[in-house]
Structure 1
Amino acid sequence: MVNEQYQKSKQQLAFSRKQVEKAGRIFRKKEGDFEFATEVIQNYRAAHLYPLTIIKNLVWKHVKKLHLLESATIVRRLKRLPTIIDKLQRETLDGNSDNAINLKRMHDIGGCRVILDSLDHLNELNNSLDSSRTVHSVKSYDYIKHPKATGYRGIHRVYKSYNNLESHDYKGFQIEVQLRTRLQHLWATTVEIVDIIEKETLKTNPKMADTDWKRLFFIMGEFLAVKDGAHQLTQQQTLVYTDELAALNKKLAAFHKLDAFNRAFQLDEIKNKSKNTGFALLVHNTETQEGRVFLYAPNKKQQALTHYAEHEKQTQNNVLLVAGSDLKSIEKAYPNYLNDTSEFLSEFSRILLA
């Protein structure tokens, strides 16, 4: 059964690596055959689904070995086409040097996210993965010991599938595994919510994002890291941050906006239909603030990928294709698309009322 699932997730790369590079250059330079480039990128993205399945199952085995399956959430996803294009066309990725990214070097087209209850569980899983011997090479980025300037925290593990073999059809495909605590995840996904409702770029291009929103999330990141046990604040710093957060909330109407966005999706009708879901296509219309969810059986992968591409052509849509057998786990892992901001708002209130 497992082998059958693996085979169904295989979609071969139909273009050469040089054509993939060319497609990336067309979008980065904004000149050339965009129809060709789009076709290549969509195929290149779809080809990541098989190595993504392999890496996701590697991670799952370690979660199981540590007896964390009951509490951990594991979800995989393919990067949205507009996000890939935006990353190619962005002037800078780090705020300092010019963007010279090559499509082949983009390491998060296929992504697996693991949300864990505590920092201890996160470290256990990361150490367990470090100790494993696989045919895949890996490079780790610790944003807990060294948080990003935005306040983002988590550990990223970038795998190159089958990189330790001489040859393989899927050798070198990069898959990013993100390990986050529940609080780190709430922070990161709420950033994405604000990007949607405020048309900001806090996640994709923080250098160009609104200063007040950036500051609000930096402060929230500090407080949530304290609750996680990953950071400490003095009493004086706590008071200063609390006062600043209250002022920013008043200026931005942050709580009100997030609470309103929380009501955009109505999930009750579809939760009961999700038991045999192989894929879920999440579509959020930024003009009407309405959300739709399309569910596909495990053997309808190609149909899901086709619909994914169709919805992405409509500029008012934010679209995400997620694999998962239970929509409840998707809801936990992607609250930015299913609008469950209640936990973040609860933490926000706790800090302001402390």
Structure 2
Amino acid sequence: MKETEYPGGSKSRVNRAGDAVRKGNASEGDLAAIEEWRAAHRAVLNTFQAILRIRLRGKNVVVAQRHKRKNTIFDKLQRLPKMQLARMDDVAGCRLIFRSIEEMHNFRDEFHKARFNHKMRNERDKYDYITRPKNTGYRGIHDVYEYDVNSEAGKGLKGLYIELQYRTLVHHAWATAVEVVGFITESQPKFEKGDDRYRLAMAYASEILARSHENLKGPFPDMSDRDLLAAFLEIDQDIFLMQTLRGLNQAKSSISDKKNNILIFSPDGELTVKSYRDATDALRDLFELEKDLPGHDIVLVRADSSEEVRTAFRNYFNDAREFVRLMDAGCAKLSGHVPKRIFRSRAKK
């Protein structure tokens, strides 16, 4: 690719390749165009992560970046038949995890005042899922930026998108648990697929966490605390959600302090981690692994320390401990009782 050429050839070329994937007749040329376009987002990620880390220096905020998985991109093309691939705005993503709602809003307000050429593409409240939670219970705030730099080397990347995800630790614990449920069951509550009881249970859980830990309302603002707890406990009695999450064995794969890590999740639940000093080497291996291991869930992530990787991507380590802890405390608070554990193990019917 020439430095001033749009990755993949052109936006229309990338869109045609995406359409071919959607129709199931993608050629090698189509897949190569998509890989080139997807790989180009690495520079966008690095630019924004550097900006964010400078502005967050001295603050206790977890920052991590991830490249959207190829399978996830292809799945999204199928779910959204009118989407043009070149307009998919979350291929590159930076996740910021704050200790409180107030800290999150304060930082976002300041970041919106930043003086750079990158343009925020959305209205301020468009992706505010705290004010307007999704039906699934998802809460958080997203902003989408369009990359724009004056340098000769960056001209070809102009127009690529990056999504910034703002979350609190409470939001993140819930989102992690949703991902874990998707790994360990045949349901995908995140995408409203499979047994709807899992989606509903996690939506009720989101409401419980919002009320008990943040003094906010979630997707069921009109339910009383008593009715909310009763509804959640009734579903949990059927699907043993809390018992299952409480009993998970966390993946023990070690992570080095090299900043680029490929997390490989096999169909039988085993996690393997490959670490790299150089982002280019990691990206090259990512594409090879995706070809060689089509049945595996593979993602390239970057953070400054192994602890930040484990915090930002707990779902890959089957780590729902924080969600369980927050739910125990949240249910106790809303019920007016303070037992050691709300959800006791129980024999299946």
**Shorter-chain TM-score tier:** 0.7 to 0.9
Q: Which residue of 2 aligns with 1:312?
A: 290
1:308 partner letter: L
Is the counterpart of residue 325 in structure 1 residue 304 in structure 2? yes
CA offsets 1:22-72 (integer angstroms, 9 cap, x no match): 110111122241x332222222111001011112222223323xx42xx20
After superposition, the Cα gap between the structure-2 partners of 1:249 and 1:57, relative to the gap in structure 1 and judged at 3 Å, is same
Is the counterpart of residue 173 in structure 1 residue 154 in structure 2? no
Q: Offset at 1:311? A: 2.8
In the alignment, the residues of structure 2 paired with residue 149 and residue 81 of structure 1 have an alpha-carbon distance, to the nearest angstrom, of: 26
Mapping of 1:18-29 within 5 angstroms? 18-29=12-23
Q: What's the % identity of the aligned pairs? A: 28
Q: Which residue of 1 aligns with 2:52?
A: 59
> Is 184-193 or 35-44 further displaced after alignment?
35-44
Q: Which residue of 2 aligns with 1:252?
A: 239
2:287 partner letter: A
2:320 partner letter: T
Instruction: Specify the SS of the correspondent of 1:169.
Output: helix
CA offsets 1:217-265 (integer angstroms, 9 cap, x no match): 111111111212333899971111111211211211212322344x241
In the alignment, the residues of structure 1 paired with residue 49 and residue 9 of structure 2 have an alpha-carbon distance, to the nearest angstrom, of: 25
Q: Which residue of 1 aligns with 2:62?
A: 73
Instruction: Specify the SS of the correspondent of 2:25.
Output: coil
RMSD over aligned Cα, in angstroms? Answer: 2.4
Instruction: Specify the SS of the correspondent of 1:256.
Output: helix
Runs of 4+ in 1 over 6 A off after TM superposition: 163-167, 232-236
In the superposition, the TM-score normalised over structure 1's length comes to: 0.84
Q: Which residue of 2 aligns with 1:294?
A: 274
In the alignment, the residues of structure 2 paired with residue 100 and residue 164 of structure 1 have an alpha-carbon distance, to the nearest angstrom, of: 32
In the alignment, the residues of structure 2 paired with residue 250 and residue 49 of structure 1 have an alpha-carbon distance, to the nearest angstrom, of: 45
In the alignment, the residues of structure 2 paired with residue 199 and residue 36 of structure 1 have an alpha-carbon distance, to the nearest angstrom, of: 34
**Could you tell me whether the CA contact under 8 Å between 1:284 and 1:337 is conserved in 2?**
yes
In the alignment, the residues of structure 2 paired with residue 163 and residue 149 of structure 1 have an alpha-carbon distance, to the nearest angstrom, of: 37
Q: Which residue of 1 aligns with 2:196?
A: 211
Query: Structure 1: which 5+ runs fail to align?
Result: 1-10, 93-98
Give aligned pairs, total. Answer: 321
Q: Which residue of 2 aligns with 1:112?
A: 94
Q: Which residue of 2 aligns with 1:95?
A: none
CA offsets 1:93-141 (integer angstroms, 9 cap, x no match): xxxxxx3001100000000000000001001111011122210000242
Q: Which residue of 2 aligns with 1:222?
A: 207
Query: Structure 2: which 5+ runs fail to align?
Result: 338-349
In the alignment, the residues of structure 1 paired with residue 23 and residue 168 of structure 2 have an alpha-carbon distance, to the nearest angstrom, of: 38
Q: Which residue of 1 aligns with 2:314?
A: 335
In the superposition, the TM-score normalised over structure 2's length comes to: 0.85
